[in-house]
């Protein structure tokens, strides 16, 4: 096992040690999920990312976001402040997106991050669950039942615990009579597993400046426009502020070369990340 894998294994172990506990059905919950996924359909390489689901019974809502990203941002802040940080300790993450679910009106607010901005889409998803009788297993020592559904161009198998009275789960999944602790696509390309469960003592606070999109078609158009020219926003801002050059890896380059690098960076990333969890979506960053 290489150094990075050892570090990540210790990271997951800490999540488990500090996350699993009993008698936690108070006001709020924090559920930590490990996602194993295949981002590139042409390369069967499995990547791993940690996510957290924060629920609030007072606000009747939940927030789902990348925990790997939060750790990464925190460590990079220390790097930028001149503090010594071993960059091999910084976890990689695939998304800055986050999701807010309302337990009252069943709305899902999906916040997509690309082109250096957040674009929010209100979604109404009605899962057609089929509960499989007489199939159970234990996850984090909770008895779970099995259910299946189809969503986003994939077939899904989930395990939920009626002993945890929260109708929620990772990503957009939910609407079952208990907390979803495991989600797996039939093709094996996406697999969520709960690795930690604890009472959440902090309140949910979301303060993001976002641009709302009217529907999914509008969102897809925005993504396609961004893909055509990833550097378009940078061009407009540089023109507005009179910027005439850029610095890359300590070397000054002309703006056009900088724009070409920005374009190529996104296009190369998309080649390596072409397998969105929802097959009818376009995965950008």
Q: Which residues of 72-106 are buried (b: 16+ CB within 10 A; e: fewer)?
A: beebeeeeeeeeebeeeebbebbbebbbbbebeee
Residue 131 has a pLDDT of 98
Whether CATH 1.25.40 fits 3-199: no
Contacts 24+ apart (CB under 8 A), 50-53: 50/11, 50/12, 50/15, 50/91, 51/170, 51/171, 51/192, 53/29, 53/168, 53/169, 53/170
Torsion on CA atoms 194, 196, 199, 204, rounded to nearest 10: -70
Q: At what angle do helices 255-272 and 216-228 cross, to 10 degrees?
A: 130
Largest CA distance in the chain: 68
Q: CA–CA separation, 261 vs 59, rounded Å?
A: 44
Mean pLDDT split into 10-residue runs, the chain, 285 residues = 47 43 62 97 92 92 84 60 61 77 94 93 96 97 98 99 96 98 98 95 72 95 97 86 68 82 95 96 94
Q: CA–CA separation, 78 vs 278, rounded Å?
A: 35
Count the neighbouring beta carbons within 10 Å of the beta carbon of residue 281. 15
Residue 3 has a pLDDT of 47
Please report, in angstroms and rounded to a whole number, the separation of the first and last CA atoms in the chain: 30
Of the candidates 170, 147, 213, which has an alpha carbon nearest to the alpha carbon of residue 54?
Answer: 170
Domain residue spans of the chain: 3-199, 216-272
Of the candidates 259, 260, 285, 253, which has an alpha carbon nearest to the alpha carbon of residue 271?
Answer: 285
Q: Would you say 130 and 147 are in contact if contact means Cβ atoms under 8 Å apart?
A: yes
Residue 258 has a pLDDT of 85
């Amino acid at each position: 096992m290489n150094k990075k894998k050892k570090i990540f294994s210790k990271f997951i172990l800490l999540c488990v040690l500090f996350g699993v506990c009993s008698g936690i059905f108070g006001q709020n919950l924090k559920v930590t999920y490990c996602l194993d996924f295949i981002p590139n359909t042409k390369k069967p390489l499995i990547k791993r990312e940690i996510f957290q689901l924060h629920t609030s019974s007072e606000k009747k809502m939940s927030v789902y976001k990348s925990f790997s990203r939060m750790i990464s941002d925190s460590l990079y802040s220390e790097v930028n402040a001149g503090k010594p940080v071993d960059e091999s300790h910084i976890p990689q993450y695939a998304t800055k997106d986050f999701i807010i679910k309302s337990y009252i009106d069943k709305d899902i607010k999906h916040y997509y991050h690309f082109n250096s901005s957040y674009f929010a889409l209100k979604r109404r998803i009605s899962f057609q669950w089929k509960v499989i009788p007489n199939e159970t297993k234990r996850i984090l020592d909770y008895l779970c039942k099995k259910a299946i559904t189809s969503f986003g161009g994939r077939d899904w198998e989930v395990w939920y615990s009626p002993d945890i009275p929260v109708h929620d789960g990772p990503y957009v999944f939910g609407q079952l009579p208990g907390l979803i602790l495991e989600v797996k696509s039939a093709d094996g390309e996406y697999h969520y597993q709960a690795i930690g469960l604890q009472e959440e003592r902090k309140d949910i606070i979301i303060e993001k400046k976002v641009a709302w999109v009217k529907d999914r078609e509008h969102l897809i158009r925005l993504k396609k426009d961004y893909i055509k020219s990833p550097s378009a926003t940078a061009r407009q801002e540089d023109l507005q502020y009179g910027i005439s050059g850029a610095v890359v890896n300590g070397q000054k380059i002309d703006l056009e070369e900088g724009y070409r690098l920005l374009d190529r960076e996104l296009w190369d990333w998309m080649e390596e990340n072409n397998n969105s969890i929802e097959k009818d979506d376009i995965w950008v960053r």
